[in-house]
Amino acid sequence: MTGSCRRPAGLARGGAAAWLACLIAAAAGLAATEAPGCPFCGSVSPSLAERRDAALALAIGESAGPVTDRDGVFLQPCRVRQPLRGPIAADALVSARVAAPIEGTALLLEEAPARWQALAANETLLAHVVGAPAVTAPAAERLTWFATRLEHPDPRIAEDAFAEFGRASFQALCAAAGALDAENLRSWIAEPGIDERRRGFYGLALGVVATQSAEKQAACRAALRAALEAPADDFRAGFDGILAGLLVAEGPRGLRAIEDRGLLAADARAGDARHLLAALRFAWEELAATLPREATAAATARLLANPAVAADATIDLARYAAWEPVDAVAGLWGTLGRDDPLVRRAVAGYLTACPREAARAAEARIAAADPEAWQAARRAATLPVRNAD
């Protein structure tokens, strides 16, 4: 997903208000970035292929001594047995950083001049690293190669395959969907032991597969509906990706199913509301062709009544330049905003950016009732803050 702070369509109050809307979005971490990737996968480290292709030199080696601790950095001597690339000779001895002591075979990467990293490796992992497509290959081609390695018996290969998909764009995922096993995806989103980041991705991927295979469509949609209906506590893992997958697979019908489940209600569980807000952000960015943005904005406006996400929903509506719910946003000042300064901050930003006369009237009412609180909220709305996570 890519984007930037652009002047919202219809904004008539000049550059200051447009800039304010961007600041609000950036402050909440909602402004889109130039880095593509799965929005439901959390932070994903560079894959082994990325590290391989960025390395100055690459070799297969083996441990040649004990680990030493130098100011918290663990170093271990390793002997080069087979150079693979770069200026390194067989039988050379290097001092490499390690996460834990290595016994036996290691993959050696020179990640900066004379700065080596050693990864414990076996024959299977070495074959995986050496055989992976170059990072310069088309993204869909690379993902097709990694698709069969998702949930590989070797956890390092499984994690590496996930990293490749987690760092890829939604467009690349769609292009590689034919290589994904729908039966496996259906199984993985229902498996309790699956890593939560992976569950969210698998839900999204299942939605993509549903749109590209008429033969698999019904089974994929049924699995996503079952995941939506499954009983869970407030911390169900990967639920945002499952909701996004349902929106990908069914568009407006999927959104109605989510509404029927009660997730747009004011008393929906906090965790579920946050997951849904994340799915709606994804829909706004990626699914406008199949789920009208007006429907996405309207669903976001329904979440204004939920205390867990009222501030974030307000910020999203400002970012979307969705001004229809201006009265509902203004009403938050005296309700949820009474006990939550973040809600008041978001309300102030939204009203300041909104070009409608209703926003001017609401500003005047709020400022007249409590000028000090209003000015404080307006000042806060212009100050970017760092996310807690």
Mean per-residue pLDDT, 129-137: 96
Mean per-residue pLDDT, 334-357: 96
Mean per-residue pLDDT, 315-329: 97
Mean per-residue pLDDT, 354-380: 95
Q: Are 304 and 332 in contact (CB under 8 A)?
A: yes
What does the mean pLDDT of the chain come to? Answer: 89
- Asked whether residue 34 carries a pLDDT value surpassing 80, the answer given is no
Mean per-residue pLDDT, 43-68: 95
Structure tokens at 257: 């199913």
Give the model's confidence band at 26: pLDDT under 50 very low, under 70 low, under 90 confident, else very high: very low
pLDDT at 235: 61
Q: How, if at all, do strands 105-112 and 57-63 pair? A: antiparallel
Mean per-residue pLDDT, 51-75: 94
The separation between the first and the last C-alpha atoms of the chain, rounded to the nearest angstrom, is 20
d(CA 374, CA 351): 11
Report which of 389, 1, 32, 42 is spatially closest to residue 199, judged by C-alpha positions. Answer: 42
Q: Are 92 and 73 in contact (CB under 8 A)?
A: no
Q: Where are the domains of the chain?
A: 1-35+309-389, 48-131, 134-307
Strand-pair partners of 70: 73
d(CA 343, CA 326): 14
Q: Are 109 and 60 in contact (CB under 8 A)?
A: no
pLDDT at 38: 85
Other Cβ atoms closer than 10 A to 127: 12
Over residues 197-246, the pLDDT tens digits come to: 899 999 999 999 999 888 889 999 999 999 999 877 656 778 999 999 99
Q: Are 32 and 25 in contact (CB under 8 A)?
A: no
- Asked whether residue 76 carries a pLDDT value surpassing 90, the answer given is yes
pLDDT at 169: 94
pLDDT at 230: 86
Mean per-residue pLDDT, 356-375: 96
Q: Are 147 and 180 in contact (CB under 8 A)?
A: yes
Structure tokens at 167: 């760092």
pLDDT at 36: 61
Structure tokens at 276: 């849904």
Q: Are 98 and 62 in contact (CB under 8 A)?
A: no
CA distance to 38, 116, 128, 272, per residue, from 48 (Å): 18, 15, 9, 34
- Asked whether residue 361 carries a pLDDT value surpassing 70, the answer given is yes
Stated pTM of the model? 0.86
pLDDT at 347: 97
- What is the Cβ-side half-sphere exposure of residue 78, based on CA atoms within 13 angstroms? 35
Mean per-residue pLDDT, 56-69: 96
pLDDT at 1: 37
Highest mean pLDDT (candidates 196-200, 233-237, 367-371, 379-383) = 367-371
Over residues 283-309, the pLDDT tens digits come to: 999 999 999 999 999 999 999 999 999
pLDDT at 5: 37
pLDDT at 383: 62
The single residue listed with the structure tokens 């004990």 is 66
pLDDT at 74: 95
Give the model's confidence band at 12: pLDDT under 50 very low, under 70 low, under 90 confident, else very high: very low
pLDDT at 387: 42
Ramachandran class of 104: left when φ > 0, alpha when ψ lies in -120 to 50, beta otherwise: left
pLDDT at 385: 45
Mean per-residue pLDDT, 143-165: 96
Q: pLDDT higher for 12 or 38? A: 38
- Asked whether residue 10 carries a pLDDT value surpassing 60, the answer given is no
CA dihedral 287, 316, 26, 282 (to 10 degrees): -20
d(CA 46, CA 241): 21
Other Cβ atoms closer than 10 A to 80: 22
pLDDT at 233: 63
- Asked whether residue 22 carries a pLDDT value surpassing 80, the answer given is no
Give the model's confidence band at 110: pLDDT under 50 very low, under 70 low, under 90 confident, else very high: very high
For the chain, what is the HEC assignment?
CCCCCCCCCCCCCCHHHHHHHHHHHHHCCCCCCCCCCCCCCCCCCCCHHHHHHHCCEEEEEEECCCCEEECCEEEEEEEEEEEEECCCCCCCEEEEECCCCCCCEEEEEEEECCEEEEEECCHHHHHHHHHCCCCCCCHHHHHHHHHCCCCCCCHHHHHHHHHHHHCCCHHHHHHCHHHCCHHHHHHHHHCCCCCHHHHHHHHHHHHHHHHHCHHHHHHHHHHHHHHHHCCCCCCCCCHHHHHHHHHHHHCHHHHHHHHHCCCCCCCCCHHHHHHHHHHHHHHHHHCCCCCCHHHHHHHHHHHHHCCCCHHHHHHHHHHCCCCCCHHHHHHHCCCHHHCCHHHHHHHHHHHHHCCCHHHHHHHHHHHHHCHHHHHHHHHHHCCCCCCCC
Percent pLDDT > 90 in the chain is: 79
